[in-house]
């Protein structure tokens, strides 16, 4: 699953608003006009006079300056924009006005809403990277892997005695697991907490590996034969961790957000072995959103296809290799982060992991997408709050089922944001 | 909300499979190879040898022939493809590989995941058509209006005493309302059935107008002051019904699926007056899918912009007027349907409605997107089953809270499908 922004959108919004307010503080009349136009109509040329409106895409979070708030709460993968800008139009897509209007994509297959082209590119990508088996698996698509996670809960619940299924994960666990499990107060499933202390027999265990937030390599910890393991492989890609095996678990979740960096496309996929489980997951997505955006699927297919082409076609240059670009970038950032932590003397990080990567064909160091930053000072019990005073927005340990002396920091934001973060960190004490 | 395919995807899949099997029956070896390649890997040129893969979009349901199954179960709006093919590239979109990668779209506004360009075009469209007020409303975006419907349930629940909120709608009601309300067995809300017979005080009343399935013009029927009305305006567009007022209810839902015909884009929007309700709906979408596909939003913005331009720019020809194209098409279909029903002598339809349309500036007849077809023969109690024997797939009355002597038939499918349907209907007795 993706960045999984559910915990702290308010914080980003806050940062965004502060940025907007600061930059226009000299012109309150302009703000009033802006608010009126956006929310209460009136006054805009393109709204009223029928001029040709160009649809400008949004730009994401506001740019970071030396003095501004740096928001590293979410794993917003804007680091990748530089790569995609650099490779020309091989991942661009043109969609004619008349295309893919039907609800239906694939009436011959098990999943009526998956675009065959998307499914084909997903299988091709896993064969290229070698991180998961695809033969004998159904490929399902979802509106991000968050939707697929809910589809899995629906498919595997309730428990055989009809009571709500317990959903557990070893702490520290991804902060959205509890909230996404519980927000509808479903009678089918409920959050059961830390898998390490779960004492029941029947549960769904979520295994995120490499783990969000701490980058650890995980295996199922619940030993009961009634436990159903769900692998969240959002980060099992060669820029973050050595590829050590082609995983072949029953249910495995992936997302383009952290693989190629296209979070705004909201697209994830699941590899599912059992046909009945797959069918129930499809039913969930049918009821929840009547399928998944075809535009996103076509775009993701084009992007994944471009990644595969760059490795498989001898004519493609090395500069167009996504995983190599991202791995170098992440490695450089981790070196700088470890240096800054050493300089500050009040922080600590998990130990480096390394291993032989079958994709890179060499022993490499893991470069997790998040830094799991501990504070060594006894008087700082709320590290998130401490860093917020330094205008660095992170996500505190309590949201991940542990204490507040640790925070999760995104390592995949823009260079600008990362640079300011590192500078501030190195000078803290 | 859209066609709202949740009831009978299995039926379409069945039809699709029959079609596939029929067309390749002579070549079992080919089928075996196809299945192996799609589900169990191996053998495909594009999968294995690194050739440049082109991403071919899907084509929707298989073409209809004189003898084939005609599937009119869903309101799959493929009728509109002809229009969009005819107007050139004014609604086409190009998305560079590096665009809109961030999760965030609009950090200055209330809804962090709405593309400002999409919101602007939605406001412009409502001002053009005059079917809803936009000044003073928040515009929220959802993965189809189905997701927004669930966001509304989440925002307005539970009841003030903490018990699950009853969700009701006057029968015949859209067949997905009960299943979408109940599928997660939420403790926040539950399906309460026909609004006409609801005897409680507190509820959410869903008002679909024109109504899916029967095209009726609806107002709230629950009179309690504790009832919260939610207007599903999927079909309140001038091709289907006279625009009689700019609606100004607290919560109004719309979708591009039935407005422009782009069901595969999975995009809906809500106009919401109350800020607190809007914030809770946003929270739902944040937890459910971490926002909404930006690709879909940008594409929908381009499409809606093209519709507005064609009416607002004097240089645009009349042939590029979406609502006029669709109204003429629907009117012609309804004339042919009424003639076929008269010829068969065993069917009946609801009476024609008409009224002055402020958009068309004339009195027009309503052309509902679905035909609500009654059977007059006493011995046919399962009209859906009766028509299935004639290879016409429809959706039976029991799914809409009434009896099986009536079915819903889509009026927005391809010309081909509609023609075969009309021919078969006229010759039934």
d(CA A403, CA A418): 25
pLDDT tier, A9 (very low <50, low <70, confident <90, very high otherwise): low
d(CA A363, CA B185): 49
* Three-state SS at A270: strand
Is the distance from CB of B357 to CB of B244 less than 8 angstroms? Answer: yes
**B97/A95 Cβ within 8 A:** no
Nearest to B141 by CA among A106, A175, A112, A58: A58
Domain for residue A125, yes or no?
Answer: yes
Q: Which of residues 324-353 of A touch B (CB under 8 A)?
A: none
For residue A333, the distance in angstroms to the closest alpha carbon of chain B comes to 20
* Three-state SS at A259: helix
Mean pLDDT value across residues A259-271: 98
Partner A contacted by B43 (CB < 8 A): no
Domain for residue B120, yes or no?
Answer: yes
For the stretch B239-271, pLDDT in tens is 999 999 999 999 999 999 999 999 999 999 999
Domain for residue A179, yes or no?
Answer: yes
Q: Tokens in use for A389?
A: 């005073």
Predicted pLDDT at A33? 40
Partner A contacted by B130 (CB < 8 A): no
pLDDT for residue A398 is more than 90: yes
For the stretch B302-356, pLDDT in tens is 999 999 999 998 766 677 899 999 999 999 999 999 999 999 889 999 999 999 9
Nearest to B397 by CA among B378, B373, B362, B413: B373
Domain for residue A152, yes or no?
Answer: yes
d(CA A370, CA A216): 11
**A293/B266 Cβ within 8 A:** yes
**B102/A61 Cβ within 8 A:** yes
Q: Of B293, B301, B325, B417, which to mutate for an interface test with A (greatest number of A Cβ within 10 Å)?
A: B293
**A61/B84 Cβ within 8 A:** no
Predicted pLDDT at A21? 37
Provide the domain count of chain B.
Answer: 1
Q: Which of residues 220-239 of A touch B (CB under 8 A)?
A: none
pLDDT tier, B9 (very low <50, low <70, confident <90, very high otherwise): low
**A56/B112 Cβ within 8 A:** no
For residue A133, the distance in angstroms to the closest alpha carbon of chain B comes to 10
Domain for residue B128, yes or no?
Answer: yes
Predicted pLDDT at B293? 98
How much of chain A is in helix, strand and coil states, percent to nearest 5? Answer: 40, 15, 45
For the stretch A288-305, pLDDT in tens is 999 999 999 999 999 999
Domain for residue B139, yes or no?
Answer: yes
Partner A contacted by B248 (CB < 8 A): no
Domain for residue A324, yes or no?
Answer: no
Partner B contacted by A11 (CB < 8 A): no
What is the span of the domain harbouring residue A303? Answer: 116-311
Q: Of A107, A189, A261, which to mutate for an interface test with B (greatest number of B Cβ within 10 Å)?
A: A107
pLDDT for residue A44 is more than 60: no
Taking contacts as CB-CB distances below 8 angstroms, the residues of chain A near B40 are 135-136
Predicted pLDDT at B21? 37
For the stretch A301-358, pLDDT in tens is 999 999 999 999 876 667 789 999 999 999 999 999 999 999 988 999 999 999 999 9
Q: Is the ipTM of this complex over 0.95?
A: no
| Residue B257: closest C-alpha in chain A | A101
Predicted pLDDT at B316? 65
**B183/A187 Cβ within 8 A:** no
Predicted pLDDT at A56? 87
Long-range Cβ contact pairs of B22-29 (< 8 A, separation 24 or more): B22/B68, B23/B62
- What CATH number does the domain containing A120 carry? 3.40.640.10
For the stretch B94-110, pLDDT in tens is 999 999 999 999 888 99
Nearest to B327 by CA among B213, B209, B237: B237
Is the distance from CB of A292 to CB of A142 less than 8 angstroms? Answer: yes
pLDDT for residue A115 is more than 70: yes
d(CA A407, CA A96): 45
**A9/B38 Cβ within 8 A:** no
Partner B contacted by A399 (CB < 8 A): no
Tokens 């680091």 sit at which residue? A79
pLDDT tier, A362 (very low <50, low <70, confident <90, very high otherwise): very high
Partner A contacted by B100 (CB < 8 A): yes
Mean pLDDT value across residues B58-78: 94
Partner B contacted by A159 (CB < 8 A): no
Domain for residue B303, yes or no?
Answer: yes
Partner B contacted by A119 (CB < 8 A): yes
* Whole-number Cα distances in Å, A317 to A223, A324, B202: 47, 12, 65
């Amino acid at each position: 699953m993706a960045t999984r922004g559910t915990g702290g959108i308010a914080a980003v919004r806050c940062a965004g608003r502060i940025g907007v307010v600061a930059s226009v503080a000299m012109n309150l009349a302009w703000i009033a006009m802006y608010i009126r136009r956006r929310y209460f109509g009136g006054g805009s040329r393109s709204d009223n006079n029928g001029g040709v409106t160009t649809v400008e895409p949004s730009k994401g979070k506001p740019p970071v300056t030396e003095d501004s708030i740096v928001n590293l709460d979410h794993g917003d993968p804007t680091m990748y924009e530089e790569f995609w800008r650099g490779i020309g139009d091989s991942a661009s897509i043109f969609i004619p006005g008349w295309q893919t209007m039907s609800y239906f994509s694939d009436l011959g297959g098990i999943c009526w809403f998956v675009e065959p082209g998307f499914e084909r590119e997903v299988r091709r990508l896993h064969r290229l990277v070698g991180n998961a088996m695809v033969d004998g698996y159904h490929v399902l698509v979802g509106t991000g892997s968050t939707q697929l996670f809910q589809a899995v809960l629906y498919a595997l619940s309730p428990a055989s005695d009809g009571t709500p299924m317990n959903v557990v994960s070893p702490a520290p666990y991804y902060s959205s697991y509890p909230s996404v499990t519980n927000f509808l107060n479903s009678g089918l499933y409920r959050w059961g907490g830390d898998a390490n202390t779960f004492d029941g027999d029947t549960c769904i265990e979520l295994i995120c590996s490499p783990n969000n937030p701490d980058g650890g390599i995980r295996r199922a910890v619940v030993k009961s034969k009634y436990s159903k393991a769900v692998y969240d492989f959002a980060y099992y890609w060669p820029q973050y961790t050595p590829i050590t095996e082609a995983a072949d678990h029953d249910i495995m979740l992936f997302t383009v957000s952290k693989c190629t960096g296209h979070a705004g496309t909201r697209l994830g996929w699941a590899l599912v072995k059992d046909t009945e489980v797959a069918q129930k997951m499809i039913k969930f997505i049918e009821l929840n959103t009547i399928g998944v955006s075809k535009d996103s699927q076509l775009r993701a297919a084009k992007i994944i296809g471009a990644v595969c082409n760059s490795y498989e076609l001898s004519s493609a240059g090395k500069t167009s290799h996504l995983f190599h670009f991202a791995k170098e970038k992440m490695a450089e950032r981790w070196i700088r982060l470890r240096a800054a932590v050493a300089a500050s003397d009040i922080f600590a990080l998990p130990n480096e992991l390394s291993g032989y990567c079958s994709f890179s064909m060499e022993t490499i160091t893991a470069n997790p997408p998040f830094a799991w930053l501990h504070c060594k000072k006894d008087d700082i019990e709320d590290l998130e709050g401490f860093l917020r005073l330094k205008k660095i927005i992170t996500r505190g340990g309590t949201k991940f089922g542990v204490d507040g002396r640790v925070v999760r920091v995104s390592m995949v934001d823009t260079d600008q944001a990362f640079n300011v973060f590192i500078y501030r960190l190195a000078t803290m004490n």
